[in-house]
Amino acid sequence: DTPLRDLAAARGIYLGTAVTGGKLTGGYGDLAGAQFGSLTPGNEMKWEAVEPARGTYDWTGADRVVAFAEAHGQQVRGHTLVWHSQLPGWLTGGSWTPAQLRTLMTDHITAEAGRYKGRVDHWDVVNEPLNEDGTLRPSLWGAALGESYIADAFRSARAADPAAKLYLNDYSTDAVGAKSDGMYALVKRLLAQGVPVDGVGFQAHLVLGQVPASLETNLRRFAELGVDVAITELDIRMTLPATDAELAQQKADYAAVLRACLAVTRCAGVTVWGFTDSDSWIPDFFPGQGAATPYDENLAPKPAHAGIAETL
Ligand code: XIL
């Protein structure tokens, strides 16, 4: 069978996966290297992983994923420079002035995006900036600095790695609705200020049978602002145990998401958030749910895999 990454490339998009760097050997590594054209480190580039103490960086995990990608001719999607979650305790437990926070953030971006300069194709510069109603999330960053932190983050990232495509990324923005309207307005404001936003990522952590009908329309309206779009963290969860009928529905759902990206010229690619059910965050975060990825726990392809292959 033609590898999924080649089918995707022939259609002008990439097919990526999140990976766990420590697992990139054996059958897991073989599939990750052979089937996917882009890798996102699932955790290894997050702040708590790379800057465990102030100004002290540990690139071990991130380096491993980047080296694997380079050895397999894959793109890297860097994830993520600025987020409210998975921050180190020294940062969340400190008491900082807004000016100090701004400097901590820009120093971190300069260090991390600088280290991988020219080796990361897409950066999720700011992750999950919005509330469900589309307003700014009062994160460590948003609460202290307001929306201005987003512009500063993108400018710092551009300066550190001019070649990387810089993305804003969020969840529950897949459909047209209050949250995606907020994202749309935010991107418009940033572009009007000359902020170097190249793309918008849609996480697409979806529920079985609930691929939004407006997904393609939504992607297209962002593209028409003059930015790229990408599906960045696709998974489609269901209540366990999965039935054959549910796995068939999941196949149709994966195909529908791929079709939406293929239909929008500026959709750069689709990344699944883990390619095997044995490496998915869903059972840990949504108790009783899972089976959300295209390969089962034993690395055997599921109907969803065929749904992707047939659509590409
Ligand atoms: C998840 C990882 O997959 C888990 O291993 C970790 O424990 C928590 O984070 N949105 C994001 C990702 O942007 O970084 C999250 O990844 C999933 C939700």
ipTM score assigned to the predicted complex: 0.99
Cβ–ligand 1 contact at 149 (below 6 Å): no
pLDDT of residue 5: 98
Task: Give the per-residue pLDDT at 64.
Answer: 98
Domain limits for position 107: 4-311
What residue type is assigned to position 222 of the chain? Answer: F
Q: Give residue 199's pLDDT.
A: 99
- Residue closest to 204 by CA, chosen among 227, 178, 175: 175
Q: What is the pLDDT of residue 213?
A: 98
Would the CB of 311 count as within 6 Å of ligand 1?
Answer: no
Nearest CA to ligand 1 atom 8: 281
CATH of the domain at 161: 3.20.20.80
Residue holding tokens 């998915």? 280
Supply the residue whose CA is at minimum distance from atom 4 of ligand 1: 281
Ligand 1 mutation pick, 281, 286, 289, max ligand atoms within 8 A of CB = 281
Query: Which of the listed residues 50, 273, 279, 293 should we mutate to test ligand 1's pocket, taking the one with most ligand atoms within 8 A of CB?
Result: 273
What distance in angstroms lies between residue 277's CA and the mean position of ligand 1's atoms?
Answer: 14
pLDDT tens digit sequence for 122-143: 999 999 999 999 999 999 999 9
Report the pLDDT value the prediction gives residue 247, as an integer from 0 to 100: 98
Helix (H) / strand (E) containing 121: none
| Residues with catalytic function | 233
pLDDT at 267: 99
Report pLDDT for 35: 98
| 3-state secondary structure at position 260 | helix
- Paired with 130 in beta bridges are 136
The finding on whether 233 has its CB within 6 A of some atom of ligand 1 is: yes
Q: Is the CB of 161 under 6 A from ligand 1?
A: no
Closest CA to 122 of 113, 109, 135: 113
| Phi, psi of 170, rounded to the nearest 5 degrees | -155, 170
Task: Say what the alpha-carbon torsion angle 246, 248, 253, 254 is, to the nearest 10 degrees.
Answer: 120
Q: What is the mean pLDDT of each run of 10 residues along the chain (312 residues)?
A: 97 98 97 98 98 95 98 98 98 97 98 98 99 98 98 99 99 98 99 99 99 98 98 99 98 99 98 98 98 98 98 98
Structure confidence at residue 165 (pLDDT): 99
- CA–CA dist 312, 259 (Å, integer): 8
Helix (H), strand (E) at residue 232: strand 228-239
pLDDT of residue 87: 98
Q: Which atom of ligand 1 is nearest to the CA of 124?
A: 13
Looking at the structure of the chain, the number of domains it has is 1
Q: Is 47 in the pocket of ligand 1 (CB under 6 A)?
A: no
d(CA 114, CA 161): 6
The pLDDT of residue 182 is 99
175: tokens are 């459909």
- Ligand 1 centroid to Cα of residue 38, in Å, is 17
List, in order, residues 6 or more apart from 205 with CB less than 8 Å away: 171, 233, 234, 235, 237, 273
**Cβ 43 under 6 angstroms from ligand 1:** yes
159 three-state secondary structure: helix
Pocket of ligand 1 contains residue 173 by CB under 6 Å: no
